[in-house]
Structure 1
Amino acid sequence: MKVMKKINNNIALCVDDHHRELIAVGTGIGFKQCPYEIENLDTIQRTFYDVDPMYYNLLNEISVEVLEVAARIVDIARLKIESELSPNVVFTLADHINFAIERIKKNIHIQTPLYNDIQHLYETEFNLGETAVKMIQQSMKVKLPKGEACNIAMHFVNAETISSISRQMPNSDEVIEEIIEMIGAYFQIHIDRNSFNYSRFVSHLLYLLKRQDKADSISSENRTMFVYVKEQYPKTYECVLNIRDYLMNEMNWTLNDEELLYLMLHINRLCARADCHR
């Protein structure tokens, strides 16, 4: 196996003996000057094939420990879920776990009102979520709240259904593009449409639109967090109000406070990333 490009000290872009490109994880494999041959393959802990290049930068934001626990969770999921999972699901799950751990460290706790519904409607995915929470606690020594099992379950549910949303909502691309334009104009930033962060944000938007299209809004149980984020990020709140008004005028959809909170958190995250250029 030949290391072609360093991603970070422990992750690199490689080519195997069959000339297939892959991402390899191994202690120190990014230290040497590239390209070079890996003489001892026992140093490689994980390999990932068919990875979309937009996820490469993400690997600099999450630790090898988070990536490894996400990979082990997905290993189990592939045995439990009948639908084919994307080769990129490890990286989106790792990103989700990393964000959940960040929230815990900042003492940000968000209620999960659909907990009971998801527990019964998506039994396989919910059981995976519970298993994942236990694995994260054992591996990362971080105790996630009970509701995180539901959030991880929904991560897998979304991974199974997200590709069908555009077919169910023919105008979803136009709505999403308008919202992205509104965010870019309001914060005076350029949002890279080819980046992982854009893809991640669009996935969150699709989930929100899917809920609205099914008239599946949820009553807010995060009032305290909503008030806190609204006060801490007034510009983001103003931007979200513009999006709310747009969806009301164009789609006759109403966003409740919890959905506004959801949007504020993810807009803040999108705008804080390096691929949004002011």
Structure 2
Amino acid sequence: MKIIKVLNTSVVLAKRDDQKEVIVMGKAIGFKNKPGSTINDADIEKIYVPENKSTSNDLVELMQETPKEYLMITDEIISYAKGRLAKHLNEHLYIALTDHLYMATKRFNENLTIQNRMLWEVKKFYPEEFSIGLYALDFIEKQLGIQLPEEEAANIAFHLVNAQQTDDNMNQILLMTNTVKDILNIIKFHYKIDIQTDTINYSRFLTHLQFFVQRLLENKMLGTPDHDLFDQINKKYPVEGKCVDKIVKYVKTNFNYDISDEEKMYLIIHINRVVSRGNA
């Protein structure tokens, strides 16, 4: 295996005997070698094989300014996630997550925190991915001695959710997009308003809708643990409740699915926030 390009002191781009380009990591492997050099097998700690040229190019660019530890941490997290989720994860996750973790630790070291306003929704609607995110935080602490906040577990979970979208389900993604758009139009016509799209409440609501529609399409809607609580919310926000009734009718007509009271309750709460606060 010969070096094509030295990315940093510990990472190189190399070519195997079968002419496949690979990312090779090892202590000082880039310090004592140069393009054209043959890599000593004893110096190799990890080999990453990109599936396509585009991913390889993106990784090469990323690793020129990112310590190798972050790609190795990402590789461990993804390996663990694949075992837990038993789903295909888009290869670009290696790049996106490596870059995110590197920037997250830089912000942490500089005492800069960015609050994840979707922490609660991710914990509630994607518990498996969030659990993997918590595992990732423990692993990062062991490897780097840095204890990142819980919000980062949600950020990692969100990367995992996005990575489950592939070219094979583009029709589902298109259906999801159109369904979200239809529900937003139902709300606009019900209230006879244009919803402000540059507010935090709108951003939260849009994310909630995306999660809601994804659960709908995957037949993973929330159950109904507390009828009394739903009745209280419905009585407190009757206008929002009537709006949700229209959404329920839309879902029943287009997907032949009955929305649970818990799902309705969350929709009522989010609609109230985006209408009363987002357009104040």
Fold agreement, TM-score > 0.5: yes
- Asked whether the equivalents of residues 5 and 35 of structure 2 are also in contact (C-alpha less than 8 Å), the reply is yes
1:161: which partner in 2?
165
Aligned mates of 1:253, 1:162 — CA distance in 2: 31
1:11: which partner in 2?
11
User: Which of 78, 84, 87 is 1:80 aligned to?
Assistant: 84
Aligned mates of 1:85, 1:73 — CA distance in 2: 12
Structure 1 counterpart SS, 2:150: coil
Aligned mates of 1:90, 1:214 — CA distance in 2: 34
Aligned mates of 2:135, 2:4 — CA distance in 1: 36
- Asked whether the equivalents of residues 3 and 37 of structure 1 are also in contact (C-alpha less than 8 Å), the reply is yes
1:254: which partner in 2?
197
2:75 paired with 1:102? no
Long gaps (5+) in structure 1: 171-208, 217-250, 261-278
For residues 198-256 of structure 1, the C-alpha deviation after alignment (integer angstroms, 9 at most, x for no partner) is xxxxxxxxxxx99975879xxxxxxxxxxxxxxxxxxxxxxxxxxxxxxxxxx976121
Aligned mates of 1:211, 1:94 — CA distance in 2: 32
Amino acid at match of 1:36: S
1:28-67 alignment, distance < 5 Å: 28-31=28-31, 32-38=33-39, 40-50=40-50, 52=55, 53-67=57-71
User: Which of 153, 156, 162 is 1:152 aligned to?
Assistant: 156
Aligned mates of 2:124, 2:37 — CA distance in 1: 51
1:111: which partner in 2?
115
User: Which of 90, 93, 105 is 2:94 aligned to?
Assistant: 90
- Asked whether the equivalents of residues 90 and 166 of structure 2 are also in contact (C-alpha less than 8 Å), the reply is no
Long gaps (5+) in structure 2: 185-193, 204-280
Q: Show structure 1 runs of 4+ deviating over 6 A.
A: 209-212
- Asked whether the equivalents of residues 130 and 157 of structure 2 are also in contact (C-alpha less than 8 Å), the reply is yes
Aligned mates of 1:72, 1:215 — CA distance in 2: 39
CA apart distance, 1:18: 2.4
Aligned mates of 2:125, 2:202 — CA distance in 1: 21
TM-score (norm 2): 0.58
Instruction: Pick closer, same or farther for the CA change 1:159–1:10 going to 2, 3 Å.
Output: same
Which one scores higher on RCO, CA 8 angstroms, separation ≥ 6? 1
- Asked whether the equivalents of residues 3 and 34 of structure 1 are also in contact (C-alpha less than 8 Å), the reply is yes
Amino acid at match of 2:199: N
CA RMSD of aligned residues (A): 3.3
Radius of gyration: which is bigger? 2
Instruction: Pick closer, same or farther for the CA change 1:79–1:14 going to 2, 3 Å.
Output: same
2:85 paired with 1:68? no
Same amino acid, percent of matched pairs: 26
Aligned mates of 1:254, 1:28 — CA distance in 2: 50
- Asked whether the equivalents of residues 3 and 36 of structure 2 are also in contact (C-alpha less than 8 Å), the reply is yes
Aligned mates of 2:60, 2:118 — CA distance in 1: 33
Instruction: Pick closer, same or farther for the CA change 1:92–1:50 going to 2, 3 Å.
Output: same
TM-score (norm 1): 0.59
2:158 paired with 1:134? no
CA apart distance, 1:73: 1.0
CA apart distance, 1:86: 2.8
Aligned mates of 2:122, 2:178 — CA distance in 1: 16
